[in-house]
Copies of this chain bind each other. A is one copy, B any other.
Amino acid sequence: MAVETIASTVSASTDFGPAVALSCRECAERFPLGPIFACEVCFGPLEVAYEFPSGDPEGLRKRIEAGPHSIWRYAPLLPVPADVASKPNLDPGFTKLVKADRLARELGVTGALHVKDDSGNPTHSFKDRVVAIAVEAARNFGLTTLSCSSTGNLAGAVGAAAVRAGFRSCVFIPHDLEAGKVVMAAVYGGELVGIEGTYDDVNRFCSELIGDPLGEGWGFTNVNLRPYYGEGSKTLAYEICEQLGWRLPDNIVIPVASGSQLTKIDKGLQELVKLGLVEDKQYRIYGAQAEGCSPVSTAFRAGHDVVRPQKPNTIAKSLAIGNPADGPYVLDIARRTGGAVEDVNDEQIVDAIKLLARTEGIFAETAGGVTIGVLKKLIETGQLDPAAETVAINTGDGLKTLDAVAPTTGPTAIIRPTLDSFREAGLA
C-alpha cells in the first residue's frame, strides 16, 4: 500500500464532527486537527475551532433534548463524531443541578442558588468529561496508550475510561502518593508508574516522553490531547443552561486550577448565545482558588495581567497548580464579565465542605469546599449580588479527600447501649 493511501485512509476515518481546525489563542493561526497543543508560530496554546450549523436553534435544541443523558447529547457542539454515544465509553455528564435553597438561606442569598454536582460522574469528578473527549481524539488519531500525570482525580478518570474504551493506559504519579490515592489510580489495572521525584518532576518526565520515540502512539490527555480534552468542560456550561430551561444564570462560581475549566465554560456559554440556544444577557464569571495556591486571585486583586507562579501549600490538592497555564485568560474573563477571582484558606475550605454537606446533603471534595467557601466570601464582601441567580460548581467527591474533614468530624455523643444513657445525652 502506498504511503498516500495509508494517509488518506487515516484521514477518511477521522471524524471530529463540527470541529474544523486548531486555532492559536494568541495569534489566531490555524492548524489541521492533530495531536498537537502549541502554536508553531508563537508557541501559544491551541484550541478547537468549529463550524456550527446555523439558523435552526429550535431544531438543535430538540435534537439535544432527545439525546442521551450524558455529555453526548451535546455531540453537535463537541469535537466528536455524531455517533460517539455508540462507542464504548463511560458516558459521563448530565449530572444533577441541585436547587440549593437551604444553602442559600445560610449564605443570605435571596436569588436562586444552584449547585452543579459533578461528583455524580462515573469516577466522581468532572475529569470524566474532559477525558471522554480526549479518548475520542485518541481514537481519531489512532493512538493506543492513554496517559497522564496526576495526583488524584485525573488518574482514576483516565484509568477507568481507558478500560471501557479499550485502550492501554499508563499513568504517572509521584512515588510517595498516599496509599488511598494509589489504590484509586491502580485499581483499573493499567500501568501505574511511580516516579521518584516531585509532581513537577513527573510532569517534566512526561514532556520528555512525549517528544521521544518511546512515546509514539501515546495520548497524554492533558498534554498532546489537551486542546480536545479541555473542550469537555464546555459541557458544564451547556448542562447548566439546559437544566435552567435554556437560560443563562447571572453568576457562575468555578474552581481554578490550570484555569482551563473556567475558560471553557465561558466559551460554552458564548457558543450557546451565538447559536441562539439561550438569550443573550450579562453573566458574571467568578474564579475560586485556595489561599495556599492563589496565583490567579492574587493577580486579580493586584490588577495584574500576568500571573506570578506560587509554590502550592493547601489541602485543596486538586487545585494546587502553582503556575496555571490559563491564568491570564481567567483574569480576562473575570474582568470582562464583571466577576472576580477570590480565595479562601484551608479552615474556610473545611467549613465550606461541611456547610454544603449539612445544608444540601452533598459531600464535596476540597475543590468543592473552595468553590462554596469563595461563594460565601464573595457575598460577604459585596462582590456577588445575593439577589441574582447563581450556580456554584462542585467538581469532585468528598470520599476522595476524607482527610480534610476527618479531624473535625465525629460523633456528637458516645453512649452506653441503654435508654438512660441516651436520655442523659439529651438528643431525644
A interface residue numbers (CB < 8 A to B): 69, 88, 90-91, 96, 101-102, 120, 122-124, 156, 159-164, 166, 170, 173, 175, 179-180, 182-184, 186-197, 201-202, 204-205, 208-209, 212, 214-215, 353-354, 357-363, 397-400, 402, 405-406, 409-419, 422-423, 425, 427-428
Contact = CB atoms under 8 A, between A and B. Distances in A.
Contacts of A204: 417
Given A186-B410, A196-B415, A417-B202, A214 B175 contact: no
B416 A196 contact: yes
Given A399-B397, A414-B194, A428 B354 contact: no
A398 B191 contact: no
Contacts of A358: 163, 187-190
Counting every copy of the chain, the complex holds 2
A135 to B, nearest CB: 11
Contacts of A354: 187, 189
Contact of A196 (B197, B353, B417): B417
Contacts of A397: 124, 399
B414 A214 contact: no
A164 B363 CA distance: 12
Contact of A417 (B205, B410, B417): B205
Contact of A188 (B187, B195, B361): B361
Nearest to A90: B361
Nearest to A428: B214
A164 B427 contact: no
A361 B163 contact: yes
Contact of A357 (B189, B192, B363, B399): B189
Given A120-B120, A428-B214, A192 B416 contact: no
